[in-house]
Structure 1
Amino acid sequence: MASNVTYHKIDELPRVIPIFPLRAALLLPRGEMPLNVFEPRYLAMIDDAIRGDRIIGMIQPEPDSAEEDQRPDIVRVGCAGRLTAFGETGDGRYLVTLTGVTRFRVAEELTVSTPYRQVKPSYDEFALDLAPGEGQEAVDRDALLKTLKDYLEANSLEADWDGIRRAPNEALVNALAMMSPFGPREKQALLEAPDLRSRAEILVAVTEMDLARARGDASSSLQ
């Protein structure tokens, strides 16, 4: 989903942002995340974002926090996304799309009167996130595609290989990372990877471990 706004410098980004804690959710720069929003506090957050700069921070609760905790501790690194699509369902829900802009580190969580949480983000260490395609030439594309092929075959899944082959490395790595079925810790490792090459290597390694475990389970069941 294309954005009408392009951010060239971190100084152009808001100094305070609302956050949406969501377990095992991964948003990456220029990636697209569809959300089905129904909780009143997050409906209010979307309303305020539309009236403001349209930036929302996606972030995970701490992995050890309880699922039912209404105000869990959060990890320190998330990704700021711009609200690029919005629709009402007629039954009180919003269907929205966030397009990733840049990662951020939580500098401070604020005491606020809004029903949703807000933080002061620090974008400094992630300034290169604003540069499309940064570092994509260093990605081992062959290794990534081989691992993807192995994963699809092991799970009897199909893919649009023409689209995959046409996709630039950044779009391919980030889309596969966001769609991956892994847990909160793996998703956080993918988010915090220092560069695109590292993210691709983590994705390959985690996928290969998952495939190895599956093969081991299959072998055990045959003995």
Structure 2
Amino acid sequence: MTVLLPLYVHPAVAPAAWEPDRLRGTTVVVDGHDDPAYRRVTARLAAAGVPVLGYVDLARATRPLADVLDDVEGWTGHPVGGVFLDRAPTAPSAVGPVALAVRAARRGGLSEVVLNPGTPTDPLYRRLDVGICTFEGGWPDYQRWTGAGGELGDGHLVYSVPPAQLPAARRLMTWRGAGFGLVTDRGLPHPYGGLPSRLDTLTPAG
């Protein structure tokens, strides 16, 4: 199982969170392609062999397509392997703009694309041949989720897990067939504001 860490903290605020040695074995999502600080840390991670995805906000298909495509293009000049399309829509009527963003990424050499609706999506999105995060939420919601709408290999991002229940959360991810994702004891409002306070949360079982 691949660990996917959306590292939503500025390098100037938490420089230790960006140390390549602490992120080995992790695919890191980075924001700020137009920020020199992010450009520097992205280059460091890439040089150290840490896979990196550039962040693009789809805003549930409310952003103008031109802005989305500009963001995708902005990552083509960085040493990233793909893009993380966050806040993705789920309705079949919105699949067209998402497909254009995926196509633009791949034409620009960003071959790995991860779509994050955070919930099961319409089957049409499966035709895009991208990774899909079908769950993003807190540990209580993850326990209640039946797994309906998800498929083997999907991504699961689970936060607010009590430290004593981290092993159980990782086992549940494995049992549900998650192909990538994250279990963390960090919680809202900033569950991805840096490395989890316990590094073993970056190592899902399986």
Given the two structures, how large is their TM-score scaled by the length of structure 1? Answer: 0.24
Q: Whose radius of gyration is greater, 1 or 2?
A: 1
Q: Which has the higher contact order (CA 8 A, sep 6+)?
A: 1
